[in-house]
Chains A and B, each alone.
Chain A
Amino acid sequence: NAGVTQTPKFRVLKTGQSMTLLCAQDMNHEYMYWYRQDPGMGLRLIHYSVGEGTTAKGEVPDGYNVSRLNKREFSLRLESAAPSQTSVYFCASSYQGSSYEQYFGPGTRLTVT
Chain B
Amino acid sequence: GQNIDQPTEMTATEGAIVQINCTYQTSGFNGLFWYQQHAGEAPTFLSYNVLDGLEEKGRFSSFLSRSKGYSYLLLKELQMKDSASYLCAVRDGNYQLIWGAGTKLIIKP
Contact = CB atoms under 8 A, between A and B. Distances in A.
**Chain A partners chain B:** yes
Interface string A29-44: 0000000000011111
A61 interface: no
Nearest to B34: A101
Q: Name the prevailing secondary structure of the A interface residues.
A: loop
Interface stretch (A13-21, A68-76, A79-87, A102-110): A102-110
B33 A101 contact: yes
Given A42-B87, A42-B100, A98 B41 contact: no
Interface residues of B, number: 23
B4 A101 contact: no
Contacts of B98: 42
Nearest to A109: B40
A112 interface: no
B96 interface: yes
A44 B99 contact: yes
Nearest to B8: A40
B106 interface: no
Size category of the binding interface on chain A: 10 to 19
Given A4-B42, A98-B91, A102-B97, 4 more contacts: A45-B97, A98-B30, A99-B48, A104-B42
Interface of B: 4, 8, 30-31, 33, 41-45, 48, 50, 87, 89, 91, 95-102
Q: Ordered nearest first, which 9 A-B pairs have the shortest CB separation?
A: A42-B99, A104-B42, A101-B45, A43-B99, A98-B30, A42-B101, A104-B43, A42-B100, A106-B42
Interface of A: 4, 40-45, 58, 90, 98-99, 101-107
